[in-house]
Amino acid sequence: MCCADVAGAMVCRMPDTLADLRALVADVRAALEDEALRGVVAEFSDEAPPEAVAVEASPRRATRPAVGGSWAKLADRAREKADTSVPVGAEGLQLIRDELGDCRRCNLCTGRSHIVFGVGDPSADLVIVGEAPGYHEDRRGEPFVGPAGEMLDKMLANVLGLDREEVHILNVVKCKPPENRNPLPDEVGACLPFLHRQIAAIQPKVILVVGTVALKALLDPSGGITRHRGQWGTLDGVPVMSTFHPAYLLRNPEGKRHTFADLKALGKRYDELGGRRTRPSPF
């Protein structure tokens, strides 16, 4: 038998090699986990969160722990290396993408299906920066798809009154780390200059970083998201808000009310700075 219905997703192929078998196992695992997590992607609000469902977490593991010192150095080096004198908007982004090419600048290239460059309005007034592509993002070549993407879309729509197409979504690294682990400092160091250049091309009015890796890479090398969320920082003069990663909220719904408050503060600043929107703010 070569076909199986796994949680509504038809997995249809016969594994020929060990690599095929591994990919098949990853497909099945992702389909089952999605099914469980989708139950948590409820309306995003500041109301009392639902009970956390029993989902076996895919722990983010760093095989080499990143310490404050090394993060500080790599963040500084990335800023120095990044030539931010790029044309603005789509032209600048295309130039950066061309330069990235079939990138082999770090080991993450070996396990990727796609480079996940980023998505959204090339001149967006709000840029969102996450950590790294996961399984779904790697397959689709787009950041924040799957259950975490659905959660992000709800956060944007329900609290900020913005659609995914009105913002720009990026990650600190553009290739999927193996086993869902955190990107290592040398991988972040190789990819980060491109992120700085993308932000320079987009020229947002406000930035939102989600999760500790993005916080450390862009804002505070010794920071942790639990301590820093809800506070404003700046990156090259652009105000930056930090909050929990949508994937964290899927497994810890009690964090939603904090993220709700953080996004409300961000929305207020966005409107004060003249951020563009196609519909009125919900607040």
- Interface with ligand SF4 includes 174 (CB under 6 A)? yes
Helix (H, G, I), strand (E, B) or coil at 154: helix
**Distance of CA 118 to CAs 114, 175, 280, Å?**
11, 11, 26
Quick one: how far is CA 2 from the chain centroid?
34
Of the pair 73, 104, the CB lying nearest ligand SF4 is at: 104
Among 37, 74, 175, 213, binds ligand SF4 (CB under 6 A): 175
Name the one range near ligand SF4 by CB under 6 A: 141-149, 185-193, 202-210, 260-268. Answer: 185-193
Q: How far is the CB of 56 from ligand SF4 (least distance, A)?
A: 27
Among 115, 128, 214, 219, binds ligand SF4 (CB under 6 A): 115
Q: Which of residues 131-150 bind ligand SF4 (CB under 6 A)?
A: none
- Interface with ligand SF4 includes 180 (CB under 6 A)? no
Measured torsion, CA atoms of residues 34, 112, 226, 71, in degrees rounded to the nearest 10: 170
Strands 232-235 and 238-243, by their bridges, are antiparallel
Residues 241-280, one symbol each (x = binds ligand SF4 by CB under 6 A, - = not), give ----------------------------------------
Among 66, 93, 108, 199, binds ligand SF4 (CB under 6 A): 108
**Distance of CA 244 to CAs 1, 104, 202, Å?**
42, 30, 23
Of the pair 81, 257, the CB lying nearest ligand SF4 is at: 81
Of the pair 111, 224, the CB lying nearest ligand SF4 is at: 111
**Distance of CA 283 to CAs 6, 118, 220, 271, Å?**
41, 28, 29, 11
- According to DSSP, the residues that pair with 170 across neighbouring strands are 129
Angle at 196 (CA atoms; ends 199, 183), nearest 5 degrees? 115
Among 119, 160, 191, 266, binds ligand SF4 (CB under 6 A): 191
Q: What's the CA gap between 121 and 8, in Å, rounded?
A: 33
Contact 189, 78 (CB under 8 A): yes
Q: How far is the CB of 117 from ligand SF4 (least distance, A)?
A: 8
Task: Tell me the number of residues near ligand SF4 by CB under 6 A.
Answer: 14
Among 28, 103, 261, 265, binds ligand SF4 (CB under 6 A): 103
Residue 159 per-residue DSSP state: I
Helix (H, G, I), strand (E, B) or coil at 209: strand
Among 119, 148, 190, 219, binds ligand SF4 (CB under 6 A): 190
Of the pair 152, 190, the CB lying nearest ligand SF4 is at: 190
Residue environment code for 101-116, b if the CB has 16+ CB neighbours within 10 A, otherwise e: eebebbebeeebeebb
Q: Which of residues 4-63 bind ligand SF4 (CB under 6 A)?
A: none
- Interface with ligand SF4 includes 105 (CB under 6 A)? yes
Of the pair 99, 165, the CB lying nearest ligand SF4 is at: 99
Chain contacts with ligand SF4 (rule: CB under 6 A): 100, 103-106, 108-109, 115, 173-175, 187, 190-191
